[in-house]
Structure 1
C-alpha cells in the first residue's frame, strides 16, 4: 500500500464510530500506563504507554496513531505533570504514533517489523529529536544528555521489542475476532 493511500485510509478511520470508541479506550489505556512510568533523573524515563499508541497505529493507521500520541502526551501532562509543558515533546509523541502506524497498519506483525519500527523510533525520535527538546527544556548540552539516554535505549530496545510484539500479536488476534469485516 502506498503511503498516500495509507494516510487516506487512516484518516477515514476517524469517521467510523467503532474506530473512535476503540481509539478512546486506547487513549485511556495510554494515560493509565503513563502512571506506571519510572523516572531516572530529569531526562530518562522508562514507560509502557507506547504500547497503547502502537496498538492504535496498528489498528487505525498513522493519522490516528499520531493524533493519539499527541493527545496522550497532553492528557498525561495535565493529569501528572513532571516539569513544564513543552510542545516539542508532544511533537515527538505524535511522530512516534505516526511511525508505528506506518509500520503496522494493515501489515503482518513480525518480530523483525516490530524491531525495525522500534529502532526507528528510538534513533530518530527518542535519541535525536527528544534529546534535542530536552536540551532546550533543561538547558543542558546535547552531548551531556545523549550518552545516558543512548545506554537506556540500548538496554530497553530488546525488552520493548518483545513486549510490543506480544501486545500487537494479541491485539491483532482480538481485532480479527471482533472486527473481522473491517480488518485485513
Structure 2
C-alpha cells in the first residue's frame, strides 16, 4: 500500500511537465476517437479499444495521470457521441483503468506476463464486475443474467485485447526510453 501511495505521488508530480500534458492530451484524443468505433454485439455488449491509449498514459506517467486521462477521455467521449444517458460508473471504470495500468507499468519493465496479469485484472474487476453491475443498475436486469453473456464476450475479447495491449505498450516502452535520453 505504501508503494502504491508513493507511485501515486510521483505520478502527480508528472503533471508539472508540459510534455506530460501534451502527450496526455494526445492520448485523450486518440481514446475519444477510438470510442467512436465500437463493435456492437447486442444491446448490452460491445467491443471497444478506447482504453488502449489510457493504458499507454498510465504506463508513461503513472496512476494519477492515467486516472486523469481516463476521466477526461470518458467525459469527452460522451460529449462527442452521447448514447443513452450519462452514467458515472463508466467514468469510474475509465479512471480505474488508468490507475491500474499506472500501478502495473509506471517505471517498470514491461513483460508479456505483466500484460496478461493486468489485462486479466481489468477483465475480471472492471469488465465482468463493475461494468456488469452498472448495466444491471441501468437496465434493471439481473446481474447474473448479464454476466453469462459478458463472460462469453470477454473470453473472446481477452486474447485480442491482450495482444493489442502488449503491442501498444511495447511501442510506448520504446517512447519512454527515447524520452529518457531527451531529458
- TM-score scaled to structure 1, two decimals? 0.94
Q: Is residue 73 of structure 1 aligned with residue 98 of structure 2?
A: no
- Cross-structure match for 1:6: 7
Structure 2 unmatched ranges of 5 or more: none
Runs ≥4 residues deviating over 4 A: none
- Cross-structure match for 1:106: 107
DSSP 3-state at the match of 1:33 = helix
CA offset at residue 180 of structure 1?
2.6
> Structure 2 matches for 1:23-172, cutoff 5 A?
23-172=24-173
Structure 1 unmatched ranges of 5 or more: none
DSSP 3-state at the match of 2:84 = coil
Provide the alpha-carbon RMSD of the alignment: 1.3
Aligned length: 182
Listed one character per residue, the Cα deviations across residues 20-43 of structure 1 (whole Å, up to 9, x for unaligned) are 000000000101111122122221
- TM-score scaled to structure 2, two decimals? 0.95
CA offset at residue 87 of structure 1?
0.6
In 2, Cα distance between the equivalents of 1:58 and 1:5? Answer: 15
CA offset at residue 179 of structure 1?
4.2
